[in-house]
């Protein structure tokens, strides 16, 4: 569980996060949604320790990040898996080397054991033929799956995903969403996803945090988002006719 | 304002140097990174260094020969001048300026590309000290830079000998006599001290510009250019300071 209490963050005098508090639950897919500039990415990067909030606390299962010493912070980071928007695969390494990288860096496992674990996670993300390929030789969807494999190879307690299905075709996007949800349940990890994609919200939004202008404007789950009268959420989520119709159909049922 | 910016950047550079040596990467991983950097930076530069050194050595010999018109000046001075020019300045300093372009732009663009594609963020999020992981192997690999400069010295003088002898400017014996004349072993020490300092600049200044760059592909190109300018300026500046300190007494 990740508990965020009243965090604030500014850049050049411009306050981006204005006192956000929430809880990201274990074993659930927690989504952060909101318009561009609403503070989603800053919140995600604050959770990852890339940005340091000016006030407030972030605690990982009771460990308050700002109170940890540098070694404890690095230790905590080994419990984190991250899927970046652009996959962020190391382009000089093969798929297998990318996936095995956290194991080579942080475990004392021998090559055979690392290889077995890499094979296992690549099979889990349905990529058994790509071991020796470079990231530039595989498709965007495959790169995302490799990034997910790399994020989970070290059995993380926390999984963060920044726009995991941006730039993917609808079928692949749904595959990626489902894969993240399955992995979250299977390994009982705390997953936080930053997304613009309303399909993801409807598919895997077990907990949704909606940000507007750096403030928490609404939170709930995918069932509640259909019923909410919150104007900001309705204006953002149901801005397209398609989603308006989906909502109407859901409410009629 | 501009001065404040430069001072801030210099401070940031020294903080980066400190961070490079913190939290070392596992040796089993680091070892491979060092070998890769030796291949990319040292072995990969051998061809261009050999080519430039050989021909510039030849040009130095020809220019010296063409300017020695007074029959009272002994011809062996062609060998002497070639040796002194190549060993003292051309090989350590001007090859380093060329390497600021070749190695420096490679280092800045590769680290800069990792920055814009979030690969550095990925390392940090995993708990890896990205500066140690990316820059430390380059510093260690460039400890072999004097080896490259040694080759440049040898080939420069060889080029001078070939141009002088086969161009009909000087006999082989006179050239060799000139290269051995008034030889001061400390000049070699001086050249290699310079080389090691330049190696450190070549590894760290381009890394600094790549690591702290912001933006996209266009900014990677700009960072490479800026890195080349500052590495060259630093090399020329340190060349002056070291020459004054080591030979100027």
pLDDT of chain B along its 249 residues, tens only?
A: 788 989 999 999 999 999 999 888 899 899 999 999 999 999 999 999 999 999 999 999 999 999 988 888 899 999 999 999 999 999 999 999 999 999 999 999 999 999 999 999 999 888 899 999 999 999 999 999 999 999 999 999 999 999 999 999 999 999 999 999 999 999 999 999 999 999 999 999 999 999 999 988 899 999 999 999 999 999 999 999 999 999 986
Q: Is A89 on the interface with B (CB under 8 A)?
A: yes
What residues contact A128, with CB distance under 8 A and at least 6 apart? A119, A122
In a domain, B196, yes or no: yes
In a domain, B93, yes or no: yes
Which residues of A, range 133-162, sit inside 8 Å of B by Cβ? 160
> Which helix H or strand E contains A123, and what residues bound it?
helix A111-124
A104/B128 touch (CB, cutoff 8 Å), yes or no: no
Number of domains in chain B: 1
Q: Taking CB atoms and an 8 Å cutoff, what residues of chain A touch B122?
A: 82, 84, 88, 90
Q: What is the pLDDT of residues B112-121, one digit of tens each?
A: 999 999 999 9
Top residue of A74, A83, A94, A143 to mutate, by most chain B CBs within 10 Å, is A74
Higher local confidence (pLDDT), A38 or B200: B200
If you average pLDDT over residues A135-141, what whole number do you get?
91
The lowest-confidence range among A166-175, A201-210, B38-47, B224-233 is A166-175
CA geometry: angle at B148 spanning B144 and B152, to 5°? 160
In a domain, B19, yes or no: no
What range defines the domain where residue B140 resides? 26-247
CA dist A190 and A60 (Å) reads: 10
Domains of chain A: 2-88+157-251 (3.40.50.300)
How distant is the alpha carbon of residue B9 from its chain centre?
A: 22
If you average pLDDT over residues A174-192, what whole number do you get?
89
Higher local confidence (pLDDT), B203 or A182: B203
A74/B122 touch (CB, cutoff 8 Å), yes or no: no
Does residue A252 surpass a pLDDT of 80? no
Q: Which residue of B has its CA nearest to A88?
A: B119
Q: Provide the pLDDT for residue B249.
A: 67
Average pLDDT value over all residues in chain A: 89
A90/B119 touch (CB, cutoff 8 Å), yes or no: yes
- Per-residue burial over A41-56, b = 16 or more CB atoms within 10 Å of its CB, e = otherwise: bbbbbbbbbebebeeb
CA dist B101 and B84 (Å) reads: 25
Q: Taking CB atoms and an 8 Å cutoff, what residues of chain B touch A50?
A: 121, 124-125
The shortest C-alpha distance from A71 to chain B (Å) reads 9
In a domain, B6, yes or no: no
Q: What is the pLDDT of residues A72-120, one digit of tens each?
A: 888 888 899 999 988 899 999 999 999 999 999 988 889 999 999 999 9
In a domain, B218, yes or no: yes
User: Hey, what's the torsion of the CAs at B47, B50, B51, B53, to 10 degrees?
Assistant: 150
In a domain, B12, yes or no: no
Among residues A164, A176, A32, which one has the least CA distance to residue A87?
A164
Q: Is B127 on the interface with A (CB under 8 A)?
A: yes
The shortest C-alpha distance from B63 to chain A (Å) reads 46
A86/B117 touch (CB, cutoff 8 Å), yes or no: yes
In a domain, B13, yes or no: no
Provide the pLDDT confidence category of residue A231 given band limits of 50, 70 and 90: confident
In a domain, B14, yes or no: no
Distance set, CA A40 to CA A47, A196, B88, B151 (Å)? 11, 10, 58, 55
Q: Is A251 exposed, middle or buried (0-12, 13-18, 19+ CB in 10 A)?
A: exposed
ipTM (interface predicted TM):
0.83
């Amino acid at each position: 569980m990740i508990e965020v209490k009243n965090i604030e963050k500014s850049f050049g005098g411009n306050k981006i996060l204005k006192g956000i508090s929430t809880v990201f639950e274990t074993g659930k897919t927690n989504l952060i949604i909101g318009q561009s500039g609403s503070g989603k990415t800053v919140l995600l990067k604050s959770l990852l320790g890339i940005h340091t909030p000016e006030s407030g606390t972030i605690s990982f299962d009771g460990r308050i990040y700002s109170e940890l010493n540098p070694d404890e912070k690095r230790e905590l980071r080994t419990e984190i898996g991250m899927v970046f928007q652009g996959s962020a695969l190391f382009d000089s390494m093969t798929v297998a080397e990318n996936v095995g990288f956290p194991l080579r860096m942080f475990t004392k496992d021998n090559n055979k054991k690392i290889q077995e674990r890499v094979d296992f996670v690549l099979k889990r993300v349905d990529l058994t033929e790509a071991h020796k390929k470079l990231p530039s030789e595989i498709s965007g969807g495959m790169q995302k799956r490799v990034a997910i494999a790399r994020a989970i190879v070290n059995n993380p307690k926390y999984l963060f995903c920044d726009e995991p299905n941006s730039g993917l075709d609808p079928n692949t996007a749904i595959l990626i969403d489902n894969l993240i949800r399955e992995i979250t349940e299977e390994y009982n990890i705390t997953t936080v996803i930053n997304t613009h994609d309303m399909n993801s919200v409807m598919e895997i939004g077990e907990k949704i945090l909606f940000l507007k202008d750096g403030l928490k404007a609404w939170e709930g789950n995918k069932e509640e988002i259909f019923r909410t009268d919150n104007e900001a959420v309705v204006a953002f989520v149901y801005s397209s006719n398609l989603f308006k119709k989906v909502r109407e159909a859901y409410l009629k049922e | 304002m501009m001065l404040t910016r430069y001072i801030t950047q210099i401070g940031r550079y020294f903080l980066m140097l400190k961070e490079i040596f913190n939290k070392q990467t596992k040796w089993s991983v680091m070892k491979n990174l060092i070998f890769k950097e030796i291949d990319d930076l040292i072995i990969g530069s051998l061809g261009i260094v050999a080519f430039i050194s050989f021909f510039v050595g030849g040009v130095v010999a020809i220019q010296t020969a063409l300017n020695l018109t007074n029959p009272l000046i002994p011809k062996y001075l062609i060998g002497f001048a070639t040796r002194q020019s190549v060993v003292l300045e051309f090989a350590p300093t001007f090859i380093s300026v060329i390497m600021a372009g070749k190695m420096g732009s490679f280092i800045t663009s590769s680290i800069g590309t990792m920055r814009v594609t979030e690969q550095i963020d990925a390392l940090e999020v995993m708990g890896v000290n990205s500066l140690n992981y990316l820059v430390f192997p380059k510093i260690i690999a460039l400890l072999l830079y004097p080896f490259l400069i040694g080759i440049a010295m040898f080939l420069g003088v060889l080029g001078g000998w070939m141009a002088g002898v086969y161009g009909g400017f000087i006999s082989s014996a006179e050239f060799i006599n000139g290269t051995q004349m008034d030889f001061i072993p400390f000049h070699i020490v001086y050249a290699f001290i310079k080389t090691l300092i330049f190696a450190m600049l070549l590894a760290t200044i381009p890394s600094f510009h790549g690591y702290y760059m912001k933006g996209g592909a266009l900014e990677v190109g700009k960072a490479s250019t800026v890195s080349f300018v500052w590495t060259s300026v630093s090399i020329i500046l340190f060349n002056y300071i070291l020459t004054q300190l080591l030979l100027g007494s």
